[in-house]
Structure 1
Amino acid sequence: MSTPLWITATPPATHGELHIGHLAGPYVAADVLSRFLRADGQPVLFSTGTADHADSVEVRALRGGRKPEEVAEGYRAAITADWLRSGIEFDHIVRPRHDRGYRRWQQNIFLELFGRDAIVARTRLQPYCTSCERWLYGAFVVGACSSCGARADGSLCQECARPTDADLIDPVCALCGSPGRPRRCRRLYLPLEPMRDALADHWASTALPPRLTALCRSLLEDGLPDVCVGHPGDWGVPVPIDDFAEHRIDACFESVVMQLFGYGHGEEPLPDRAIHFCGFEHAFCHAVLLPAILIARGMKLPQEIYVNETYQVDTDQGASDGGPGVWALDLLTEFGSDALRRHVLQLRPLGRSTGFHQDELHRTRQVLEATWNSWLSRLFTAVRQDCRGLVPDAEPGGTGWEALRRRLHRAAEDLREAYGPDAFDPRRAVAVLDEVVNLAADFGYVNVFERDKPRGEQDHLPAMAAQLAVASALTSWAWPVMPEGAARLAAALRTKAGSPVLPEALIPPAPGTRLEPPSGPVFGF
């Protein structure tokens, strides 16, 4: 039996709630791919975790006078609840502070790499805050990236995705604003230069987007860095080496190893294919650090990386006019998962940054209401009035049906391509779904006049059956994008949602089936 295709999404740091930018990044898109493959009968493992030991969690706790574990627990619960309400269904969400064996797993891999001399000690200058009496690393320090000049913290630059660590220009303490003073600090590093040839071969054989390919090539040209994998501190998984007992495993290293734990590696062989969803700012962890760790352990992982750019979000948006702002919980409550999922997929920041504006989200809901729900409402009303709520005993037909059926079959093939891992494009899928609904709605308008023929024949029933066939197909075709609405539509048609996305789904319910349309909208609310 082949191993399942492994899909991952970057573990979010539990220092705050999810906002719409998080959903527009890796999470909804990864769920779309997972749903399509499952419906197609392919084995899938969809995993993530929560980065409870991120430096930003400790910073948030110190600023609020709280314990880091309280911050991590509260936001972890909120994040997982938002995933659930968004229709994002993971097979495994790693809980670093609760999953049995997690700490031992992290430390064992760290020790293994240290024993192989892949992790080594280095003494280098590191910023130190004399006011806070604290080493400045990760979220504790801000400055300018030495590679691109963008404002960054001491982990990864969000603009160029390179590790920053101790190389920030003009570093200052994120807590008090004092300048960071350079001091000698002995820490543990994972040098990448000894793996140059293996990493170069890996990147050459990996399906990477152009911007990520450029990053990897520039790293090779500039000289592969030594990646810090531990730092002095109190929060996180302790470094399992005696001389560094007061150090903690770095959050980037932990998030990579967390993914392996989520897959169950150790008990299960590595998969034949892995697909990672992440923002570009986290691409270094997936494209560089993960293969480096596996190479150091003598392993290979065929992987693909789907990178999204930044989804620009103003977290004050909506506050002045009493709107729901940009937080996932508020938007899900106001607009529902169908509208929100469709919206972030339609504006997915692929290849360029996009931004969130509430008026555009309102328009997305209006499209669902004025097109999708309006057509379905007319169809259900016609079935109730003309057939007593029962599916008519007629073959799909009507004026223009054969041409429409051919176009719908092509649309199904387009959807399969847009949903599939080889040409994944959820924005295209949304456009095709809209085309399907608009075609069905126009077909219904054209054929409604069949009811008015004076001779009393029932020539309008084949057109009604044809539209029911389209509605039935949408219970599978729209399932990856809007699972909540697809499930409502399936319940109304007395069928099952989430079947394979195939042209053969274009079949009406059995004649005589009593429809049970919902009292409210089918898609969104």
Structure 2
Amino acid sequence: MRPPRPAEDDRPVLVLGPNPTPNGGMHLGHIAGPYLAGDVYARYQRARGRGVIFTTGTDDSQTFVVASARRLGVEPAELCRTSTELIREALSAIGISVDGFGPFDQTYQATVEDYFRALHAAGKFRLKTVQMPYLERTGEFLVEGLIEGECPVCLATCRGGLCETCCHPNNFDQLLNPRSTIDPQDVPTLRETTILVLPMEEYREQLTAYHEQWSSYWRPHLVQMVRDVLSRPLQDLPITYPLSWGMPAPFPETPGQVLNAWLELIPAGMYTSSYAAAQLGRDTTPGQLWLPEENTRIVHFLGFDNAYFFALTHMALLMAHGDTYIRPEWVLTNEFYELESEKFSTSKRHVLSVQELLAEVARDPVRLYLALTAPEYQRTTFSRAGLDKVARERLVEPWNRLAEALAKAAANAAGSVVLPVSDAGRAMAATMLARFDFHYEMPNYSLNRCADTILSQIARLSRLATGLDGRGFDEEPAGWGDLILQVRALIALSAPILIDLAAAARAAGGFDGVLAPGAFEVSEVTPFVPPLLSLTAADEAISPASR
């Protein structure tokens, strides 16, 4: 089955962002990948008049919370609380338009438990005795964020369970040279324990068919990883772990164990999507929006380092539920985003938070630069000098020249004016819409190309305005009419990224927020004075008329 063409696909869309681990705040490396990509996509779908639910929520059960809390000398629950506040603050500050940020509450936990109870009752899990790293000094098993070593597939340093470099799993005793992440001097032994697993090999045929159906529409690194993993025997997936932190596993065979935190994320998405729907005025039960009869399409944005879980293990778990739930149609991954060509590192103080940057730079230039440099296909880097240069020379200065030329012409006009739009002007606006639509929609969705198209159109329209400058509306009515129509089109089409410019334009009556078919097929326009853009946080987009 081929996916519907985007122009013909008006099904409601469920946009999922990854669930951030509440073991600290958010830096630009987090935002520049799945959160900004999901936000821009959701905003564009809303502008096209489609039903959208964009949601996420924290992943409190992760062992990374425990490891970070111990290094900081605080309780894990307290770290979750303070980090969740920082995460929500960062998402709001940069303008990530989630419809609902699902809390980690009793309904969340009940949704996760019900999801796994159904699979347990259907006999999908198997008991398995395995050897797992064990720390004699503390009497605890080490998994996931509590242990690191060398990946048995690519030899890169990685944490337990999954390698962020090659995205292959390393379950149980497979990690090479294992050591504690809290104290690397603590070298674990191996101890036998019995857990529940999902036999992934039983889903090989379904997984292969699913990926053959969709892989031609996904980014190549994800496709390569899936093919590589499927070329080997599929490892049994741990469902439970003998840990003290996490959601208690509701199974009689594994008393005292917890659920594998990584596996909460699909039922978590079912819960947060229902929570978000309620914020929009529609009450649903958790999981209802994932039923086939809802006719919803799911678009999932995530970092490549998590792709194994979402592309393979979560798909296998959904398949284990039979035809109960739909599956994501689009899975868009991103690579790592670096800071000045070096990986973000909180421990080395090589980090820049969203809040720190927005205290100095206006939000729209930050969003534009992050979109332009987002790590879609390979690692990219944030450069403060690069941000300043791009924002000043390619965004703010040419846009403001354009806006000021229109303001000057409007100020010199006598009385109310209506300007004609030529066939060529309408054709230009239609071409802009088609080009932006190509980059905003699947399967070609690209933050990089959307941002670059915004900058190229600003440069083009600024040149047109310069050519008209000094001539009034009465001298070049069609020229000004065509320019104003295209400026309105550009504001509308850049609105998913330049959110503050769009808000100021709406307030000034220059943009209604909707990109309906035929939006720019008009024969005349009234003059419009666009807002100015600023580089600094102290002076956000304002109208030239109010300066």
Query: TM-score under structure 2 normalisation?
Result: 0.85
Q: Which residue of 2 aligns with 1:500?
A: 515
**Correspondence list, 1:274-353, <5 A:** 274-299=298-323, 300-313=326-339, 314-315=343-344, 326-353=352-379
How has the CA–CA distance of structure 1 residues 515 and 111 changed in structure 2, closer, same or farther, with 3 Å as cutoff? Answer: closer
How has the CA–CA distance of structure 1 residues 101 and 509 changed in structure 2, closer, same or farther, with 3 Å as cutoff? Answer: farther
How has the CA–CA distance of structure 1 residues 445 and 68 changed in structure 2, closer, same or farther, with 3 Å as cutoff? Answer: same
* 1:421 is the counterpart of 2:442: yes
SS of alignment partner, residue 123 of structure 1:
strand
Q: Give the percent of matched residue pairs that are identical in Structure 1 and Structure 2.
A: 23
Q: Which residue of 1 aligns with 2:283?
A: none
Q: How far off its partner does 1:151 sit? A: 0.8
CA distance in structure 2 between the partners assigned to 1:516 and 1:411 by the alignment? 20
- Structure 2 unaligned segments of length 5 or more: list them: 1-8, 275-285
* 1:16 is the counterpart of 2:24: yes
How has the CA–CA distance of structure 1 residues 406 and 192 changed in structure 2, closer, same or farther, with 3 Å as cutoff? Answer: same
- Structure 1 unaligned segments of length 5 or more: list them: 452-456
How has the CA–CA distance of structure 1 residues 364 and 503 changed in structure 2, closer, same or farther, with 3 Å as cutoff? Answer: farther
Q: Tell whether the 8 Å contact from 2:406 to 2:528 is kept in structure 1 after alignment.
A: no
Match for residue 267 of structure 1 among 263, 274, 288: 288
Q: Which amino acid aligns with 2:222?
A: L
**Correspondence list, 1:54-453, <5 A:** 54-96=62-104, 98=105, 100-166=106-172, 167-177=174-184, 178-207=186-215, 208-264=218-274, 265-268=286-289, 269-270=291-292, 271-299=295-323, 300-313=326-339, 314-315=343-344, 326-366=352-392, 367-384=394-411, 386-387=412-413, 392-396=417-421, 406-451=427-472
Q: Which residue of 2 aligns with 1:473?
A: 489
SS of alignment partner, residue 11 of structure 1:
coil
How has the CA–CA distance of structure 1 residues 475 and 332 changed in structure 2, closer, same or farther, with 3 Å as cutoff? Answer: same
CA distance in structure 1 between the partners assigned to 2:530 and 2:335 by the alignment? 43
CA distance in structure 2 between the partners assigned to 1:403 and 1:108 by the alignment? 59
Q: How far off its partner does 1:161 sit? A: 1.2
Q: How far off its partner does 1:155 sit? A: 2.7
Q: Tell whether the 8 Å contact from 1:448 to 1:460 is kept in structure 2 after alignment.
A: no
Q: How far off its partner does 1:497 sit? A: 4.1
Q: Which amino acid aligns with 1:133?
A: G
SS of alignment partner, residue 139 of structure 1:
helix
CA distance in structure 2 between the partners assigned to 1:325 and 1:231 by the alignment? 32
Q: How far off its partner does 1:325 sit? A: 5.3
CA distance in structure 1 between the partners assigned to 2:164 and 2:199 by the alignment? 22
How has the CA–CA distance of structure 1 residues 516 and 32 changed in structure 2, closer, same or farther, with 3 Å as cutoff? Answer: closer
Backbone CA RMSD of aligned residues: 2.8
| 1:112-135 Cα shifts (integer Å, max 9, x gaps) | 222222222211111112233321
* 1:458 is the counterpart of 2:458: no
Query: TM-score under structure 1 normalisation?
Result: 0.89
Q: How far off its partner does 1:165 sit? A: 3.0
CA distance in structure 1 between the partners assigned to 2:136 and 2:257 by the alignment? 19
How has the CA–CA distance of structure 1 residues 311 and 497 changed in structure 2, closer, same or farther, with 3 Å as cutoff? Answer: farther
| 1:118-165 Cα shifts (integer Å, max 9, x gaps) | 222211111112233321101100101111111110132111112223
How has the CA–CA distance of structure 1 residues 506 and 376 changed in structure 2, closer, same or farther, with 3 Å as cutoff? Answer: farther
SS of alignment partner, residue 399 of structure 2:
helix
How has the CA–CA distance of structure 1 residues 168 and 364 changed in structure 2, closer, same or farther, with 3 Å as cutoff? Answer: same
Q: Which amino acid aligns with 1:295?
A: M
SS of alignment partner, residue 330 of structure 2:
strand
Q: Which residue of 1 aligns with 2:282?
A: none
Q: Tell whether the 8 Å contact from 1:49 to 1:94 is kept in structure 2 after alignment.
A: yes
SS of alignment partner, residue 244 of structure 1:
coil
SS of alignment partner, residue 16 of structure 1:
coil
How has the CA–CA distance of structure 1 residues 298 and 311 changed in structure 2, closer, same or farther, with 3 Å as cutoff? Answer: same
How has the CA–CA distance of structure 1 residues 353 and 506 changed in structure 2, closer, same or farther, with 3 Å as cutoff? Answer: farther
CA distance in structure 1 between the partners assigned to 2:540 and 2:96 by the alignment? 21
Q: Which amino acid aligns with 2:122?
A: R
User: May I ask how many residue pairs the two structures share in their alignment?
Assistant: 506
Q: Which residue of 2 aligns with 1:483?
A: 499
Tell me whether 511-520 or 64-73 shows the greater mean CA deviation: 511-520
How has the CA–CA distance of structure 1 residues 312 and 199 changed in structure 2, closer, same or farther, with 3 Å as cutoff? Answer: same
Q: Tell whether the 8 Å contact from 1:413 to 1:503 is kept in structure 2 after alignment.
A: no
Q: Tell whether the 8 Å contact from 1:343 to 1:361 is kept in structure 2 after alignment.
A: yes
Match for residue 52 of structure 2 among 36, 44, 63: 44
Q: Which residue of 1 aligns with 2:277?
A: none
SS of alignment partner, residue 419 of structure 2:
coil
Q: Which amino acid aligns with 1:237?
A: M
CA distance in structure 2 between the partners assigned to 1:522 and 1:37 by the alignment? 24
How has the CA–CA distance of structure 1 residues 290 and 6 changed in structure 2, closer, same or farther, with 3 Å as cutoff? Answer: same
CA distance in structure 1 between the partners assigned to 2:540 and 2:267 by the alignment? 43
Q: Which residue of 1 aligns with 2:4?
A: none
Q: How far off its partner does 1:335 sit? A: 1.6
Q: How far off its partner does 1:305 sit? A: 0.8
SS of alignment partner, residue 420 of structure 2:
coil
Q: Tell whether the 8 Å contact from 1:472 to 1:490 is kept in structure 2 after alignment.
A: no
Q: Tell whether the 8 Å contact from 2:362 to 2:540 is kept in structure 1 after alignment.
A: no
Q: Tell whether the 8 Å contact from 1:391 to 1:465 is kept in structure 2 after alignment.
A: no
